A and B are shown apart, each in its own frame.
Chain A
Amino acid sequence: MTAAFRTTAAGRLKGAKPVSFSFDGASYQALEGDTLASALLANGVHLMGRSFKYHRPRGVLSAGAEEPNALVGIHRDAARKTPNVRATVQEVYDGLTAVSQNRWPSLAFDVGAVNDIASPMFSAGFYYKTFMWPKAAWKSIYEPTIRASAGLGVAPDRPDPDHYASRYAHCDVLVLGGGAAGLSAALAAAETGVRVIVADEQPAVGGALRFETGSAIDGAAGWDWAQATAARLAAMDNVRVLTRTTAFGYYAQNMVGLVERVSDHLADPGHDLPRERLWQVRAKRVILATGAIERHMVFDGNDKPGVMLASAARTYLNHFGVLVGKTIGVFTASDSAYAAAIDLKQAGAAIAAIVDLRDNPAGALIDRARALGIEILSGRTVVRASGNLRVASMTVRATSGGPERTIPVDALLMSAGWTPSVHLFSQSRGKVAFDTATRRFLPGDYAQDCVSVGACNGTDTLADTVKEAIAAGEKAAKAAGAGKAAALKLKAETSESWAGGMVGAAPGAGPDTSGKAFVDFQNDVTAKDIRLAVREGMRSIEHVKRFTTNGMATDQGKTSNIHGLAIAAEALGKEMPEVGLTTFRAPYTPVTFGALIGHAKGRLFDPTRRTAFHAQEEKLGAVFEDVGQWKRAWYYPRAGEDMHAAVNRECATVRKAAGIFDASTLGKIEVVGPDAAKFMELMYTNPWEKLEPGRCRYGIMLREDGFIYDDGVVGRLAADRFHVTTTTGGAARVMNHMEDYLQTEFPHLDVWLTSISEQWAVIAVQGPKSRDIIAPLVEGIDMSDAAMPHMSVREARICGAPTRLFRMSFTGERGFEINVPADYAAAVWDAVWAQGQKHGACAYGTEAMHVLRAEKGYIIVGQDTDGTVTPQDAGLDWAVGKKKTDFVGIRGLKRPDLVAKGRKQLVGLRTKDPKVVLEEGAQIVADPKQPIPMKMLGHVTSSYWSENCGRGIALGLVAGGFERMGQTLYVPMPDKVIEVEVVGQVFFDEKGERLHG
């Protein structure tokens, strides 16, 4: 069945496949190629939504991206619910389900509409003035209630199952807009051979040629020429044509963000198609051909369903074959609305009258309308549109006043003229200039390598537009380095006219009138609200905008900004430019989070780094923890063990037999060159020149301010080669820090740095049995204590693979760290593990590692230090070379506040009750009975249950800590106060005998 308002007299969907869709549960027929708006209008449905604040019934205003009223929810399935979709943009597909928003219980009967009756209460600034007291109620009562009743659609409550693609693209000439101007420019540029991208937001190119049937280019009807030109461009190797693609943001140095809607228009997109594709385009030259947006008329009742832009009605007719009404009124100050009336009349609609604000409109279009017998009421204004859920009449009187005449209509078309779309130009930081003659803002000073052509540049006639566009395309191509010149010539003819136009409220909606003459439909801002803002003292348009919210809805005031500015200027008695134009910001139209995120979700949200031993650890039942991007084995629970039990067992086993630990994530840097030791002297507090090859040293790195930046064990492999280790978290920044000094402060040194963090996988084998475990696997070196003492390094082979074998310890036990090239790591782990089984060893994770090092008082940079701790504070003064004359941080250490008494120092804390384990981060005080706020002495930095010590152990930073040895301090907790004794940092094997034993 053909929908009631579909006509055969016009439109391009003839023969298109019928599809069905639903709106608020009712089923309708549409044609493939329809938008939701055109399909609903074809079925005679004008009521599509309720307004934001007053819940007034609303229909479509436009036929494009500027739509402020017809916002709906599109529900594909339970997870795919998109709110606030413009019905004028959403293409219909078979089975599409749309629902109206911001109404209860139904669109036709909405309780919230009481706001409209009570509207005198809700003038601009109402919220600011009313909900001021009590203050607490704003968050708990006022805001939630206001948000629930005034609002847009509902956000989906499930994860987005769609995927989104992204692409960087580079071109010589980027053309934004695929109307007559954009296509002409693109063709001119493309024919020179340069790389061209042309983007248009509609499903097909054409721009205004979609509705302007009076235009012809190159001898073909405008629309047909556009389609043929797009096909010609798409066939060229150097051109990419993107439709359904919105340029939403114009960024620095001609980077433009485009969103291509790939599958929102498809009934069954399938699995492979992304929903959207983000294009980040870098162009040498940009041509803006973004056209113009028709303005509505500001008069009472201009928001009734059925009242719409003249160009919209013409689009619905000439493109979609839909009549927006049967008896149609027109209210205009521009010639272009006459063309709409003529087209509709010829398609069989009755034109009730054309009401023209102008006293003596003249021209070919006016003559043609008159010849068709259309009544033209010039010098008149529409003071009111009436009707409940649909416009039923317009009331007309002379612009100067006088008697009123009411004319029945079922649709009312308006045109106050055309606003050049300078949004992207403005985003490029170009400055608009006010054209006094036409009262519009046009591109003025350019900030980037771009140019505007056609309607967005204020060029109104087709012939001028095409000429200007061709010239711009050729010039841009040449500037971008085109090798040859193009000689494109296009003949353009048109019977269209965009002459005329006005800004501000229509006569009849002036300061002394009542009624709601809407300026901003989406945010329910009326002419009166703007005037009120001025009366309340707002002087700049930026203030008026924020006070009234004019132009602040998701449509960004595409239709409302200029009217709002004109009304404010009139109220202020100023010229429009003196009041200012608000800044246009990205995005031009709303962009989904999905498009911006692109591939970066799920497994690609952030890199997950696994060591070469990961599979081995998984096999052993490891529980992993996130350490930065790394997955590290945290502990290895056995059957029946919780974390606590597993860690206790691991800690005990290491000290009794041995433990095997994955230390691969530590940063590693190879420092190579004849000046390697000299460079190390500068980067670390320790002395290095005399460290013999084959020996290791614990090094501390400071920042220039004297605070600890990183630490790690460094092995000297040869006179000119060091193997430096860093903390896991410090790997990248330490490398950067060292490169910075080497390149910019010490470039005279003959030394280079190479990250080898991932070249070498590292198995730490720690414990009294460690040597017994690995010795049978190691070839070519003597591993006896005499030949290979604590803190030594050897290059050897293990299981046939090369190894850098360190004898070192982060547990206080005899220990080794086996560095093997990562691809051999798993095999070596397996061999070590098998050996370990013979000696009662276990695998231990990062938690046990933390406990074991805390038992020995070994610090963790970033846990026991926080960027304000010096080596002295940490009890590491011994690691600072006293005879050195320079190293990074040497001067910082002498700063008055770093040598002052009373600094926080790292000490051990013994709870009086051995069973108590302190909380990390807990504060420490001298007197728990002092009034709150108490004087804090410091805080607990590390705290664990130590199975080996049989008690809780802790480290803490305490003011004057070294002088408080033996003192009792207190840790106040919410439910109790914990007594602690200040002790040394080492809790286990204080003499350190086990390292060598």
Chain B
Amino acid sequence: MLLIHCPYCEEDRPELEFRNAGEAHIARPENIAEISDEEFAQFFFIRSNPKGLIYERWRHIHGCARFFNAVRDSVSDKFLMTYKAGEKRPAVKAGEKA
């Protein structure tokens, strides 16, 4: 069981309190009703699924209930950092502990 640092609770908490919520930094287009089929497909269906650094959303669903973002290494499973929803995507290099 992983420990995950909740940026709102400011503490490492057991993974059981959290739920993964998919890839981060995919914003819903503000003019979504007008976008093309191609744009919709990119927004809704296509995910990067990288090997290595992955930006993903988590929810501290059984804790403070906040959604937040995390940078994780999909090879080692290790979290590099977590940050609040709405904050800018941080630049992190693989193997770097932010």
Contact = CB atoms under 8 A, between A and B. Distances in A.
A and B touching (Cβ–Cβ under 8 A): yes
Nearest to B86: A747
Interface in A839-889: 885-886
Interface in A252-309: 252-253, 255, 280, 282
A607 interface: no
Contact of A885 (B27, B28, B33, B57): B33
A716 B85 CA distance: 30
A888 to B, nearest CB: 8
Contacts of A892: 40, 44
A705 B61 CA distance: 24
B3 A253 contact: yes
Contacts of B2: 252-253
Contacts of A747: 85-86
B36 to A, nearest CB: 10
Say which size band chain A's interface belongs to. Answer: 20 to 34
Contacts of A405: none
Question: Which label, helix, strand, loop or mixed, suits the secondary structure of the A interface?
Answer: mixed
Interface in A737-760: 739-740, 743-745, 747
B32 A896 contact: no
Nearest to B77: A252
A894 to B, nearest CB: 8
Interface in B53-76: 57, 59, 61, 65-67
B11 interface: no
B60 to A, nearest CB: 11
A896 B59 CA distance: 33
Interface string A90-126: 0000000000000000000000000000000000000
B1 interface: yes
Given A251-B1, A896-B37, A705 B85 contact: no
A739 B66 CA distance: 9
B32 A890 contact: yes
Given A251-B1, A252-B77, A736-B61, A744 B44 contact: no
Contact of B40 (A739, A886, A891): A891
A704 interface: yes
Contact of B1 (A280, A740, A744, A890): A280
A895 B40 contact: yes
Contacts of B59: 736, 739-740
A426 to B, nearest CB: 16
A896 B57 CA distance: 30
B65 A739 contact: yes
B33 A886 contact: yes
A747 B59 CA distance: 15
Contacts of B44: 704-705, 892
B35 A744 contact: no
A745 B30 CA distance: 9
B98 interface: no
Given A891-B35, A891-B40, A892-B40, A739 B67 contact: yes
Contacts of B27: 745
B21 interface: yes
A880 to B, nearest CB: 13
Contact of A891 (B32, B61, B85, B86): B32
Nearest to B36: A891
B33 A740 contact: no
Interface in A237-260: 251-253, 255
A280 B3 CA distance: 13
Contacts of B57: 744
A744 B67 contact: yes
Contacts of B66: 743
Contacts of B40: 891-892, 895
A282 B3 contact: yes
Nearest to A889: B32
Interface in B79-96: 85-86
Interface in B19-33: 19, 21, 27-28, 32-33
A253 B28 CA distance: 35
Nearest to B44: A704
Contacts of B35: 891
A255 B1 contact: yes
Contacts of B85: 743-744, 747
A87 to B, nearest CB: 34
B88 to A, nearest CB: 14
Nearest to B2: A252
A891 B67 contact: no
Contacts of A740: 21, 59, 67
Given A740-B67, A745-B27, A896-B37, 6 more contacts: A736-B19, A739-B65, A743-B66, A747-B86, A886-B32, A891-B40
Interface of B: 1-3, 14, 19, 21, 27-28, 32-33, 35, 37, 40, 44, 57, 59, 61, 65-67, 77, 85-86
22 contacts: A251-B1, A252-B77, A253-B1, A255-B1, A280-B1, A282-B3, A282-B14, A704-B44, A705-B44, A736-B61, A739-B65, A743-B67, A744-B85, A745-B27, A745-B28, A747-B85, A747-B86, A890-B32, A891-B40, A892-B44, A895-B37, A896-B37
